[in-house]
Amino acid sequence: MSRHSNTLRAQSPGKLNLTFDILGDLPGGYHEVETLMQTIDLADELTFTFEPAEEFLVEITSVEFAGPTGDVPLNQNNLIAKAAHLFRKNFPDKPDYKVSVHLRKAVPVAGGMGGGSGNAAATLMVLNKWFKSPFSDSKIAEMASKLGADVPFFLNGGTQIGRHRGNVLSKVDLSNELHFLIVGPKLFGLQTAEVYGAFDENKVNGTATISATECAEALKGGDEKSASQKFGNVFEPIVFSRRPELQFIRNRLTELGGLCTHMTGSGPTLYVFTADKAEAESIQRKLVDEQRDVTNGWSNHCDLILNSWVATSTKRGVIVA
């Protein structure tokens, strides 16, 4: 940032859940989760402009979609506004500002990639920088946790295991880059709360087969083929049974190649974990060709347009410039 400017910019990446399991219940109606999370090089861009004002105001002035459009609130329900107001509440004795935010979404909205959570983490980091770091990293992490279970992860990003609600984090040091083809079906997807509700009805806590630690260890060992067998998401059977077209896409992606195909978070975004970038690109080409061919299974099974992105793992969370 130049101090002559009243503008700060940030990038907040999307994440993939390489593993996602529910171990049990926590007080307050929360679920105890265990998940191996990974940031990727698909990121939203946020531009914050600060002007002195009589009271603290946050306005999301505009949202631009770099990829597929989605339903992003422009009012105080936006996680950016919620994060800014929480920051301000913890920092009461300073001059007020009007904070205007322009948001450019690249991370698919409501897709299980934590886009909104990343935006909230970016907001806390930008405000801390603008006000010359009144808060320590741990205080910022505490505020992040209040905004949502996924928000603390985005402060540092990279590869981390999330436990408790997903907000108690341990860093995993991976030296190798991971490659993915991300596939976002434009389904009128299930809401996250609906997926958790369906999970509760079935009550199958702890798959005992999906282990974030084992997956992290296997990835650290550098054998991606055997690591890919440790990937998994406890929500897949629930979501696939309610959205058979997603199961169809998953099966077809598995046939097209890659090491494994899974759903991130509560979906509906799927990702193919691949040996390298070239393999992800090759699957993407096959996918585009297949969807153009109206005589094959795609048109019979699902009237869907798929967006896809070749992505690589990153070692960082939010970047504030």
- Tell me the residue ranges of DSSP E strands in 186-292: 232-233, 260-263, 270-274
Helix, strand, coil content of the chain in percent (nearest 5): 35, 30, 35
Given the rule CB under 6 A, which of 88-96, 113-121, 169-177, 196-204 is the region that contacts ligand ATP? Answer: 113-121
Q: Which of 13, 115, 162, 184 binds ligand ATP (CB under 6 A)?
A: 115
Give the separation between CA 160 and CA 181, rounded to whole angstroms: 20
**Exactly one of 21, 82, 105, 150 is catalytic; which is it?**
150
Q: Which of 117, 128, 160, 261 binds ligand ATP (CB under 6 A)?
A: 117
Q: Which of 4, 24, 27, 71 binds ligand ATP (CB under 6 A)?
A: 71
- Residue 118 or 258: which CB sits closer to ligand ATP? 118
DSSP letter assigned to residue 313: B
Tokens of 165: 């609600």
Q: Decide if residue 84 touches ligand ATP (CB under 6 A).
A: no
Residue 84 backbone phi and psi in degrees, to 5: -65, -40
DSSP letter assigned to residue 285: H
Q: Which of 42, 99, 106, 116 binds ligand ATP (CB under 6 A)?
A: 116
Given the rule CB under 6 A, which of 65-73, 87-95, 271-279, 296-304 is the region that contacts ligand ATP? Answer: 65-73
- Residue 41 or 214: which CB sits closer to ligand ATP? 41
Going across the sheet that includes 260-263, the strands are 260-263, 270-274, 179-185, 306-312
Q: Decide if residue 268 touches ligand ATP (CB under 6 A).
A: no
3-state secondary structure of 180: strand
Concerning whether 15 is annotated as a catalytic residue, the answer is: yes
- Residue 113 or 218: which CB sits closer to ligand ATP? 113
Tell me the helices (H) and strands (E) count for the chain, helix number first.
11, 12
Instruction: Give the active site residues.
Output: 15, 150
Using CB under 6 A as the criterion, which residues of the chain lie in contact with ligand ATP when the complex forms?
71-73, 78-80, 109-117, 119, 192, 265-266
